[in-house]
Chain A
Amino acid sequence: MGIKTPLYEEHVKLKAKLVDFHGFILPVLYKSIKEEHNYVRTKSGIFDISHMGQILVEGADALNFIQYISTNNAETFKDGQAFYTLLCKDNGGIIDDLIVLKYSNTKFFLVVNASNIKKDYRWITEHSAKYPSIEVTNLSDKLGMLAFQGPLSAIVLSTVLADKNLPEHFYFSETVFNNETLIISRTGYTGEDGFELILSGETSVALWRKIVETAGNNTLPCGLGARDTLRTEASYMLYGNDIDEDHTPIQAGIGWAVKKKGNIGYIGKDVLMDQKYNGVQIKLIGFKTLKPGIPRQGNIIISKEGKRIGYVTSATYGPYLKKTIGMAYVDINFSKIGTCFTVKNNNREIEAEVVKLPFYKR
């Protein structure tokens, strides 16, 4: 039996369909993935993302340490900015992808995937041994987290908090809610404007209720189903599907988060720089289907000549785009936009065509 999040009772009251997700009991949907998805695209939606992990890295040497363990260039971001980055192994394989909130050169707040909390914490602590000033704290069990996403989220949230000064896109700020610190990060996993709200589990329930009450018909509680279809339309990576320890960020097409950083060395740099400038053999591409049927994760991809050229990492019918889309690792020779191939799904063969990513941009 999984861990009940602080919002468990709310989900039960709302008759959510609950599933075990990496050890957490979470709603996959309340009523309909399609409806929840389109609410986020056109109005707003609220998600329980208490399963996400939070790791605090502090110390005089924090900037240097973050530079050493992650691929993006932490130096180029201002205090108060949030940025996407990756933890990689020496061979470039991805340990995790994460959002980092930069408080200052001595304090970084990491938001990591639920499935990787323990692994990340161990990885970060082990590497911090060489940095005596660094203190690493795993706050994942103490903190709750909500995502409030969609075009109407900003106006609703400023009403809820009686605060017009919400952070800009990819910035964060702290405020007080119910006598407690609330971190407001203007980031998300849906492709819409929106916020990720970090606070204690207990108070997250009060904030959830207040947002739902204030938004009225302008919001819907959304489950993991809509979270997945929304992020797929926006072509955001899902760890375990599109990225993992066997693939590098360059292969995954997120090389924009891998920086040269001058002379600064970091884990995986040699391999990643080589791949970035000399190219890769396989690549994550986007495709749309040309025939009915939805491919699924793990489906094999066959070229027109009948050769096995790759496999599907994520795919869904896009409820807003109204077409079936997916991502796949394929041989570099079949990665050009417009290339057609066949996806083997059970006994079916679904024709598909390589298209540009992202599928959806607001």
Chain B
Amino acid sequence: MQNYLYTKDHEWTLQEGNRARVGISDFAQEELGDIAYVELPEIGTKVKQGDTVCSIDSLKSSSEIFAPFTGTIVEINEKLKKEENCEIINKDPLGEGWIFVIEMEDPNELDALMNEEEYKKMTEEE
């Protein structure tokens, strides 16, 4: 079982060495509904934990994706550049629907995140 960690803003992260893959949770995609656009960040962008990295537009609303860590964007999901592909976030939010990869400056920041169980509890309370 892979170890997904979650932010309170409904991003998930998956650690890959000193990097982490980031996407939005199943709960978030369900809340947003059909995703129409993802405005991807540029590779090389430096972000601080909590910064807005990019935005997602669904038919119902727009929302922002925040950086779970301080670091540098090193990879983006090129598939999402095409509008018609954005529905992969709805279909497979934790897999094919990943959005970007950050190279972390301080892996200690992982400690602030929730595990699957804690996150589930939070969404049930919402």
Contact = CB atoms under 8 A, between A and B. Distances in A.
Interface in A290-348: 292-294, 296, 316-317, 319, 322, 324, 345-348
A346 B59 CA distance: 16
Contact of B52 (A293, A319, A347): A347
A317 B37 contact: yes
A345 B56 CA distance: 12
B62 A296 contact: yes
Please classify the interface of chain A as helix (H, G, I), strand (E, B), loop, or mixed, using the class held by over half of its residues: mixed
Contacts, number: 51
B59 to A, nearest CB: 5
Given A225-B59, A345-B62, A346-B55, A294 B37 contact: yes
B36 A324 contact: yes
A272 interface: no
Nearest to B37: A292
B55 A293 contact: yes
A226 B83 CA distance: 19
B39 to A, nearest CB: 5
Interface in A78-114: none
Contacts of A33: 33-34, 59-60
B57 interface: yes
B109 interface: no
Interface in B9-54: 33-34, 36-37, 39, 52
Given A294-B36, A317-B36, A322-B83, A34 B52 contact: no
Interface in B84-117: 84, 87, 90
Contacts of B33: 29, 32-33, 225
Interface string A8-50: 0000000000000000000011001110000000000000000
Contact of B39 (A292, A296, A317, A324): A292
Nearest to B83: A322
Q: Which of B39, B52, B59 has most A Cβ within 10 Å?
A: B59
Contacts of A28: 60
A225 B62 CA distance: 15
Q: Which of B57, B61, B90 has most A Cβ within 10 Å?
A: B57
A140 interface: no
A128 interface: no
B84 A34 contact: no
Contacts of A294: 36-37, 57, 59, 62
Contacts of A185: none
Nearest to A316: B59
Contacts of A322: 83-84
Contact of B37 (A34, A229, A293, A346): A293
B57 A293 contact: yes
A288 to B, nearest CB: 13
Contacts of A229: 59
Nearest to A29: B33
Contact of A346 (B34, B36, B62): B62
The 6 closest A-B pairs by CB, nearest first: A317-B36, A294-B57, A34-B34, A292-B37, A33-B59, A33-B34
Given A229-B59, A296-B62, 14 more contacts: A28-B60, A32-B90, A33-B59, A34-B34, A34-B59, A292-B57, A292-B83, A294-B59, A316-B59, A317-B57, A317-B83, A319-B34, A319-B59, A347-B52
14 contacts: A29-B33, A32-B33, A33-B33, A34-B34, A225-B59, A225-B60, A229-B59, A293-B57, A294-B36, A317-B57, A319-B59, A324-B37, A345-B62, A348-B55
Interface of A: 28-29, 32-34, 225, 229, 292-294, 296, 316-317, 319, 322, 324, 345-348
Interface of B: 33-34, 36-37, 39, 52, 55, 57, 59-62, 64, 83-84, 87, 90
